[in-house]
Amino acid sequence: MKKHNFYAGPSILPQEAIDATIEALKDFSGTGLSLASVSHRSKEFDAVINEAIALFKELLNIPQGYSVLFMGGGASTQFALVPFNLMKKRAVYVNTGTWSAKALKEAKLFGDVVEIKNPDFFSLPKGIEVHKDTDYVHITTNNTIYGTEYHEDMDFGVPLVADMSSDIFSRPIDISKYAIIYGGAQKNLAPAGLTFVIVKDEVLGQVDHKIPTMLDYRTFVTKNSMFNTPPVIPIFTALQTLKWIKTNGGVAAMYKLNTEKANLLYAEIDRNPLFKGTVAKEDRSLMNICFVMEEQYKDLEADFLAFATAQQMVGIKGHRSVGGFRASTYNALSKESVEALIATMQEFEKKNS
């Protein structure tokens, strides 16, 4: 039976990207060498990284004056790089969950941080006002653990920085609203080990302090992400994923399908008497759909998880900090998989009604 992969990350990738990577690991671009052992300075890999950057810019309609960087260290390293490169005095951090809290913690090492948050993480702060002398505002657009997401690009009148680890390429973005967008690639783009950064060139080099070479975005801008050895295999897979997105209609088509998938699953959660959603409806994520058993059915949680696992549903257990269930519906997850999860929920309902 087909397995339905709802893992939050590392997570499902297009089969075409996986297959192309497997072949390249055997023989990369007709070189007779494995992708795992080819020089990153070779003309064959140079073509890969250049095409990946070009497709990144094309699919997201990135305007002139922005650079696309491929780095290591995960989004967690970016939590420190952002303030190191941008903060002069103070920044505003919108704390909407675990990952934004970690970013905020790192930023406090570099200057004053104003924290904005709701009493809990099951809804998003609204009506945020920012003082004009703020160096930048930092947001996490999608929250994998709690299942909230900002669905529109915001404008605070100061540079905006966004962690888009888990919703990049899932919806159209107005890149011009952002100074920096960054994220780990292990959700919608590539295997773990690759970090992407989209940076507005003019915001760099404005701080007074010195920045170590490997922590300075300008190092990667001037060297086309090739100052040191980049994560070769994940970049190759990212290129295959970007090709797949383009072939399947681009970001607009991804957004249409993601909306359809999410609407189907949220409708079942709202209808099914055994389950309930955990997030304010206007803030529900399209990427990470979180739900729990209704209070009177709490004792069935382990039973449902076992039943769903037997039906080939993989990775639907909620994060350990919140419990319940989480279905991650990234770009490569088919509508068929969502329909299979819904059928599983309905069958479990029949067994326990």
The one catalytic residue among 99, 135, 200, 243:
99
Question: Could you check whether the bond before residue 125 is cis, i.e. omega within 30 degrees of 0?
Answer: no
Q: CA angle, 317 as apex, 240 and 352 as ends, to 5°?
A: 125
Please report the pLDDT score of residue 288 as a whole number: 98
Q: Which of 135, 167, 187, 283 is catalytic?
A: 187
Cα(48)–Cα(20) distance, integer angstroms: 13
What's the pLDDT tens digit per position in 146-178? Answer: 999 999 999 999 999 999 999 999 999 999 999
Domain end (from 247, 273, 295) = 247
Q: Are residues 199 and 255 in the same domain?
A: no
Answer yes or no: is pLDDT of 273 > 80.
Answer: yes
**Domain boundary pick from 221, 247, 273:** 247
- pLDDT value of residue 2: 87
17, pLDDT greater than 80: yes
Q: Which residue of the set 3, 46, 135, 163 is catalytic?
A: 163
Same domain flag for 194 and 296: no
pLDDT, tens only, 190-202: 999 999 999 999 9
Tell me, what's the pLDDT at 353? 82
- Mean pLDDT value across residues 193-222: 97
Same domain, 188 and 295: no
- Domain containing 212 equals 15-247
- pLDDT of 332-353, one tens digit each? 999 999 999 999 999 999 999 8
**Of the candidates 207, 162, 202, 167, which has an alpha carbon nearest to the alpha carbon of residue 180?**
162
Q: Among 247, 273, 302, where does a domain finish? A: 247
Q: What's the CA angle centered on 35, arms 34 and 38, to 5 degrees?
A: 85
Q: Residues 79-88: what's their mean pLDDT? A: 98
- Check: pTM over 0.95? Answer yes or no: yes
CB 234 within 8 A of CB 183: no
> Within this chain, do residues 159 and 224 fall inside the same structural domain, yes or no?
yes
- Residue 190 has phi, psi (to 5 degrees) of -160, 175
Tokens of 58: 């094309």
Contact 254, 333 (CB under 8 A): no
Q: What's the CATH code of the domain at 236? A: 3.40.640.10
Distance CA 88, CA 187 (A): 32
Chain-centroid distance, C-alpha 228: 25
Work out the number of other CB atoms within 10 angstroms of the CB of residue 236: 27
99 counts as catalytic: yes
Sign of CA dihedral 27, 330, 321, 304: negative
Catalytic, 163? Answer yes
